[in-house]
Structure 1
Amino acid sequence: MVPSSASGPESASGVPGTRRRGARGGRGIPRRAAVDRRSFAPTLRRLEELAQSGAQVSVHVAELDSGRVVLSGDDHVPLPIAGLGVVPVLVEVAAGFASHAIDPLRIIDRVDEQLVTRSGLWRHLRAPALPLVDLAVLAAVAGDPTAANALLDAVGHERVQARMVLLGMPRSAVLDRFRDQRGPDDAPHVAVGTTREFARLFAALVDSRVVDAAVSAQVAEWLSLNQDLSLVASATGLDPFAHDDDAHGLLFINKTGRDRGVRAEAGVLAGPRAGVAYALTVCFDDLSISHRLRAHDAFRVLGTDLMEYTH
């Protein structure tokens, strides 16, 4: 197996939107793709099919202990990742809590004019204000966009981007707030990222190397409560509402990102045989339910392969 190789520097903020290719002009997994074919051949086949249909695919899977890359393809290319971009924001929030630069109990008022109404839980709650620490839980567990916007306002966009550079994520970026509609003056995406950088970020979280042990533990705790187990995590059989202490000793944390034509997930899965950090992003033409289900199926096949690899 030959791991994918990175190309030269590229500004994340200059990344174009999803470049779609029709089936007639489709292509296979790029030549940079590499796979441990003993365990990940089904995933590779699904990703090849998606790429041939015109989707953009990026994937990175590496062993936790050795760092050995067992599956990769275009993992250096920044793509839209939607809510997966919340993870660096959570890191900066946790760092602010740990350094006492930010009060975790600081009350944030919900401004109804700034509510993101397409998704989220806070818009359905009666409480008109919540402490920052509770908003961090909402953003991590339910992908609440209004809560995520409040966290980004609390720490500042520039600090989040500086933190990402310190974390070794120069190709990834949080570009904007969550919005119901994006106008011509808004960034085209909430966030962009490479699967290589996000898989490495999750590996560093469980290895207590993100800022320090306390910050790593806090962010990992928030993410361990994530209730979106419908993509890669669907293969784990975990209870979406109570999976932070699995009876079978399965270690799992993840975060997903969803937008029109975008599905992204990164996480860590560890079992009795091995542990891996993974990230997968698929950008596709969301023309029908079948197009969407084909993208979802690739995540689920990867989840099955990850379970077989770690157990």
Structure 2
Amino acid sequence: MSSSTEWSVLAVEIGSGEVLLETAPDLLLPTASVGKLFLLHHLAELLDDDPSLARRMLRKDSVAPVADSGLWQHLDAPALTVADCARLVGAVSDNLATNVLLDHVGLAPVQAVAARSAPGGSMLNDVVRDVRAPEDPPMLSIGCAADWVHYFRTPHPTVLSWLAPSTDLSMVSSAFGLDPLAHAEPVPAGPADALQVWSKTGTDDGVRAEVGLLEVDGRRAAYAVICRFEGEVVPVLRRMREYGTLLLDALRDGGSGLEAYDPGPGPAR
């Protein structure tokens, strides 16, 4: 792995507060789509105040087309409800749904949510853009592991419902053995285990990030693994899976998995 690779990692067991994984948790790095969580949280709070907002229809042509992640750009439906747009963001990190929602609620209120809920400086900087001009923010979002673990220690339940079917299990969650298309409910993970994960990932050139909440047989850990790198992505994904194994073992074994599993040379833990 390149010497220029940077990691921000933290995992904390929610019940005890025990730190399970830790590497530069306050280091701010690019986090790509992870910052969309601030949008989802703002929407969840708006729905708390006005549940009828969930049924409001939003048109896909209210914003400029945007490519890459998501399904709505490939669907015939010209409009979706606010709730369905949020579900698309949670499940497939839908870029078009993200921009339609941001157009509806505004970026400034979402950034206000980030400012009050992420003391370390994590932020959604902009809408999603196919091309970033010099006058645009250089990256969609920034974040540090400490902020996201802080968030997932007391997450909004509606946000969790939107994240439950997230299909991207290519990073930390690749260690959990889940079906990427069918894991919204707890699944057996051993003789006595029931496992569930709620996660949001971010992918960009030289960026891989996953933040979330893992529950194993009633024990929960909030976690965040963020990496900025140069060169090959495969070693980064391999290390992220190793972190996932460490986390899973720690929840199963009360922390003994941290000593029992050595990921080899790399970031401290």
TM-score by length of 1: 0.75
State the alpha-carbon separation in 2 of the partners of residues 82 and 102 from structure 1.
Answer: 31
State the alpha-carbon separation in 2 of the partners of residues 250 and 293 from structure 1.
Answer: 26
2:140 aligns with: 190
- Give the alignment of 1:110-259 within 5 angstroms: 110-111=60-61, 114-205=64-155, 216-248=156-188, 249-259=194-204
- Give the alignment of 1:88-127 within 5 angstroms: 88-100=38-50, 103-111=53-61, 114-127=64-77
2:17 aligns with: 67
Cα displacement (A) at 1:167: 2.0
State the alpha-carbon separation in 2 of the partners of residues 172 and 136 from structure 1.
Answer: 20
State the alpha-carbon separation in 1 of the partners of residues 33 and 52 from structure 2.
Answer: 23
Structure 1: gaps (5+ residues): 1-49, 206-215
Could you say what the CA RMSD is over the residues aligned between the two structures, in angstroms?
Answer: 1.7
2:122 partner amino acid:
S
State the alpha-carbon separation in 1 of the partners of residues 106 and 5 from structure 2.
Answer: 33
- Cα deviations across residues 92-118 of structure 1 (Å, max 9, x unaligned)? 011111101871122111128711122
2:245 aligns with: 304
State the alpha-carbon separation in 2 of the partners of residues 274 and 117 from structure 1.
Answer: 38
State the alpha-carbon separation in 2 of the partners of residues 153 and 295 from structure 1.
Answer: 34
- Cα deviations across residues 211-250 of structure 1 (Å, max 9, x unaligned)? xxxxx21111111111111111111111111212123221
Query: Residues 250 and 270 of structure 1 are in contact (CA less than 8 Å); yes or no, is this contact kept in structure 2?
Result: yes
2:170 partner amino acid:
S
Closer, same or farther: CA 303–131 of 1 in aligned 2, 3 Å: same
Cα displacement (A) at 1:272: 3.0
State the alpha-carbon separation in 1 of the partners of residues 135 and 79 from structure 2.
Answer: 29
Stretches of 4+ aligned residues off by more than 3 angstroms: none
1:280 partner amino acid:
V
Structure 2: gaps (5+ residues): 189-193, 253-269
1:157 partner amino acid:
L
TM-score by length of 2: 0.87
Count of residues paired in the alignment:
247
User: Percentage identity across aligned positions?
Assistant: 34
2:165 partner amino acid:
L
Higher strand share: 2
1:293 aligns with 2:234: yes
Cα displacement (A) at 1:55: 0.8
